[in-house]
A and B are shown apart, each in its own frame.
Chain A
Amino acid sequence: MAAPLVLVLVVAVTVRAALFRSSLAEFISERVEVVSPLSSWKRVVEGLSLLDLGVSPYSGAVFHETPLIIYLFHFLIDYAELVFMITDALTAIALYFAIQDFNKVVFKKQKLLLELDQYAPDVAELIRTPMEMRYIPLKVALFYLLNPYTILSCVAKSTCAINNTLIAFFILTTIKGSAFLSAIFLALATYQSLYPLTLFVPGLLYLLQTRHINPNSAAAVHTCENEEQSLLDLFLGVCHDVCGKPSGNHLPLLLPSQLLGFHPRSLWLYINVFFYTIPLAIKLKEHPIFFMFIQIAVIAIFKSYPTVGDVALYMAFFPVWNHLYRFLRNIFVLTCIIIVCSLLFPVLWHLWIYAGSANSNFFYAITLTFNVGQILLISDYFYAFLRREYYLTHGLYLTAKDGTEAMLVLK
């Protein structure tokens, strides 16, 4: 399977290199949908030049990145394009190997449940076979690398790509079962933007469940949990202490409240991301990777400055759930909504800023519609997932008491 992956990587790198050299690069790097004040490359360059002049990069409220990004690009500023192409490639490779292992786990679990007779008798067409799952890792890598959203983020040199890489490595190390490495990557991702903290819960659930399959004592389970927790705290603290004092000033904790001066009422909108973690954990405790997918999507929708790079990360997971396709109900309408909104973004921006005729309401209406489309999309996937689980345990061809075909209604 290495050869197709290498081919996909080569094609992706070529497309990105071609776009970097074209005149579109300037235009894309200024688009509001692709870069946000938290991830814009121009601001990274601004922070680096402030650092070179001996001034704190955080004075002036322009630079909102972490010190680790400064140190990374201090040495790599001349190879910036290469760095971003490599991060995209690394994300794709991490997702490839993660999904490869995940498929093995899924198949093992399915076999176990079949042997334990947990499934209803007539669900043969819902059972997944290794043959159909063979190309899924390649499709995941393909979906991520050749997604127009990812390409735009890479060409714009948005640091969201680095966040995606860290989350992808977190997923890889979690699925491989290494608590220490997954804690490191989660700490790094949380350090950059606070939201990946919510991925701690599905990661922990997954690690506990895999260790449960390989027999271990209850004490080991508890130590694993504590180990993760303390590693996370330790790492966050270390990051702050070591990197936090570039010029003697105390580094402020990078929360939206202090840096961007938001209104206290909008605190609820940012906390929205954290609200969904507990209900999802209760409902999806048997399926932590699906939980992780939904959580990443929730982060992409509800974070304070969403960009298309965040959307690209959870879109990469669609091939993993393509067995749910037959249960998705609104996929056509939702695909149309997302494509139409993506096309209308630049048109309404042009009308507002250049033609002087529309106003910000038009543009923000489209961002709201885009978010509504995304919410409906992930709730559709959630519904399809639950429906398949229901059919697996209760049988596919359900009949009502009088023998006619029964209809499932979600209450």
Chain B
Amino acid sequence: MGLLSDPVRRRALARLVLRLNAPLCVLSYVAGIAWFLALVFPPLTQRTYMSENAMGSTMVEEQFAGGDRARAFARDFAAHRKKSGALPVAWLERTMRSVGLEVYTQSFSRKLPFPDETHERYMVSGTNVYGILRAPRAASTESLVLTVPCGSDSTNSQAVGLLLALAAHFRGQIYWAKDIVFLVTEHDLLGTEAWLEAYHDVNVTGMQSSPLQGRAGAIQAAVALELSSDVVTSLDVAVEGLNGQLPNLDLLNLFQTFCQKGGLLCTLQGKLQPEDWTSLDGPLQGLQTLLLMVLRQASGRPHGSHGLFLRYRVEALTLRGINSFRQYKYDLVAVGKALEGMFRKLNHLLERLHQSFFLYLLPGLSRFVSIGLYMPAVGFLLLGVGLASLVAPLLISQAMGLALYVLPVLGQHVATQHFPVAEAEAVVLTLLAIYAAGLALPHNTHRVVSTQAPDRGWMALKLVALIYLALQLGCIALTNFSLGFLLATTMVPTAALAKPHGPRTLYAALLVLTSPAATLLGSLFLWRELQEAPLSLAEGWQLFLAALAQGVLEHHTYGALLFPLLSLGLYPCWLLFWNVLFWK
């Protein structure tokens, strides 16, 4: 309490902070960026290791040999699917029953808020088919899930074939202590969401689905499989889930262990991992992988149906088979053996996976950075913000944010009546229109705000805006580090610099370049650049518009938080800085 109550020391401290304010802000910002870049180098990045003792030893001997059967099932499935145009429910039921599972179906339907142009769907209805393998000597209290999402654009027939062959193989074993659910969903992620909601008896996204007839106990872990070719050159793994949630690192370690055991090539983001982390090449590629992971996590999209399991505290991964131009190919038996090994180890689990990390970043498949080591980066960035009447601009900015959130979807019908655009385009164009309209605000709010103390007015507004920004970024960074870091990197410097005096056009240009929409556009270009498929300006703009539509759609279908955070939280905050800049 000495500092708070002793006036002499307070005054000295205040003078010190005021004098060093600008250099401290710059220094802390640079320190934050430097710390982030240093995350790929050895002392900050560690090798992964298995933390769960129950999954420690790899003394499992895989015996799966149903490669031919899997291919036969796959061909049958593809033929039936082509014939019926949708998921061949009757065939799946028959086959699963013949393999020896308890088969159930679930129908679901959903009307999307506006037509989805990328997947070309609007009124979605489908059926999920799942079979439960009951554990012979256990009480059906816990279960594992192997799921294959089948959409209209990705038929995944080899995955369905492998699923059925594995089911047949697993049915003959006696060592299962948990039930195994083999789930085939229609309309990929929408079907998975419907099944999960019905399984856990909640209704988070407004999906209409029939209740489940059969359940198998609390789900301990899930694996989503996507295979579209008879042979694969490598197995790719995706970890980022909805709203940036990640599965327990042990699940990734498990996957890697079994790929190494079987000699199967495993990749992350489609690229092989560097072995050598001592020279500069390894860390540089690690930086590319890290940045891509940050961008994917920040987008908050579920990159695979595993992403939807994570919300229910079920650790899940998506495995994708890649068939590239590599010479050595692996057939379905190799993939099946890896899956068998994983499921046998998961069978050993006594409790849910909790020993290893839930929050981490991956510079490579066998390297990770834990939250304790990457949090200081965002801490340094936000330190700069904390260190450097108002009600009317605040209310108006928040009202603009609310308009940005609510109006595009509500107003799409009005827009399509008056303009020759499709609904999805109408939503995106309304978004952009309201966003740009916010730029014209300062000229109007000045009539409302009194000008009796012009100088103090903008300083107080900037103070409130900075605290608001720091608060939001802090809260966002706690739940989704990548999004918080990305937004802090772009918004903090220009927010700190905003003031009415000085080169106004330069500051205005900088502020527009670092606004949330521009950050989204920039990160799209960066993402494609990192994937070595750079975009031209026109393509980039088209992708940006598609990303805006997807963002709004995902918020309404899965509850993704990127759209509400940007429109209700960060856009009003940015508008406040825009108001400060144009203060008369």
Complex contact A340–B471 (CB within 8 A): yes
- C-alpha spacing A355/B479, complex, angstroms: 8
Contact A350 B479, beta carbon cutoff 8 Å: yes
Asked if A315 is an interface residue, CB under 8 A from chain B, the answer is no
Contact present for A344 and B467 (CB under 8 Å)? no
Q: State the CA gap A410–B6 with chains docked (Å).
A: 9
The reply to whether B467 and A357 form a contact with Cβ atoms under 8 Å apart is: no
Nearest A residue (CB) for B472: A343
- B358 and A347 within 8 A (CB): no
Asked if B4 CB lies within 8 Å of chain A CBs, one says yes
Of A336, A340, A355, most B-chain CB atoms within 10 Å: A355
Q: Once the chains bind, are B467 and A336 in contact (CB under 8 Å)?
A: yes
Partner of A355 from the list B245, B354, B471 (CB cut-off 8 Å) is B245
Measured CB to CB, the closest approach of chain B to A33, in angstroms, equals: 15
Chain A residues with CB below 8 A from B7, complex form: 407
**B359 interface residue per 8 A CB criterion:** yes
Known: A329-B4, A343-B471, A357-B359. 4 other contacts (CB 8 A): A350-B479, A351-B479, A355-B358, A356-B313
Is B471's CB under 8 angstroms from A339's CB?
Answer: yes
User: A348 contacts B471, CB within 8 Å?
Assistant: no
A356 / chain B contacts, CB cutoff of 8 Å: 313, 354, 358
A333-B10 Cα distance, complex, nearest whole Å:
13
Q: Is B475 an interface residue (CB 8 A)?
A: yes
Which parts of B465-515 form the interface with A (CB within 8 Å)?
Answer: 467, 471, 474-475, 478-479
Any chain A CB within 8 A of the CB of B5? yes
Interface string of A316-344 (1 = CB under 8 A from B): 00000000000001100100100110011
Instruction: Please state if B4 and A348 are interface contacts (CB–CB under 8 Å).
Output: no
Residues of chain B contacted by A397 (CB below 8 angstroms):
none
- Beta-carbon nearest neighbor of A357 in chain B: B358
A280 within 8 A of B: no
Cβ-defined contact, A376 with B4, below 8 A: yes
Task: Give the interface SS of chain B, mostly helix, strand, loop or mixed.
Answer: helix
CB < 8 Å A-B pair total: 36
Is A347 within 8 A of B471, CB to CB?
no
Residues of B within 8 A of A339 (CB): 467, 471
Q: How far is the CA of A59 from the CA of B5 in the complex (A)?
A: 51
* Other-chain residue from B4, B354, B371, B478 in contact with A330 (beta carbon distance below 8 A): B4
Do A347 and B475 touch (CB < 8 A)? yes
| Residues 378-395 (chain B) with a chain A CB within 8 angstroms | none
Of B245, B359, B467, B479, the contact of A347 (CB 8 Å cutoff): B479
In the assembled complex, A354 has its CB within 8 A of some CB on chain B? yes
Question: Using Cβ atoms and an 8 Å threshold, which residues of chain A touch B4?
Answer: 329-330, 333, 376
Identify the interface centre among A344, A347, A356, A376: most chain B CB within 10 Å of its CB.
Answer: A356
Q: Are B478 and A347 closer than 8 Å at their CB atoms?
A: yes
Neighbouring A residues of B474 by C-beta, 8 Å: 340, 344
Q: Distance in Å from the Cβ of A19 to the closest Cβ of chain B?
A: 15
What are 13 A-B contacts with C-beta separation under 8 Å?
Answer: A333-B4, A336-B467, A344-B478, A347-B475, A347-B478, A348-B478, A354-B311, A354-B313, A355-B358, A355-B359, A355-B479, A357-B359, A376-B4
A245 to chain B, nearest CB (A): 41
Q: In whole Å, how far is B395's beta carbon from the nearest beta carbon of chain A?
A: 13
Q: What is the bound-complex CA distance between A30 and B245, given in angstroms?
A: 23
Interface residues of B in 179-238 (CB under 8 A from A): none
The residues of A that contact B467 with a CB separation of less than 8 Å are 336, 339
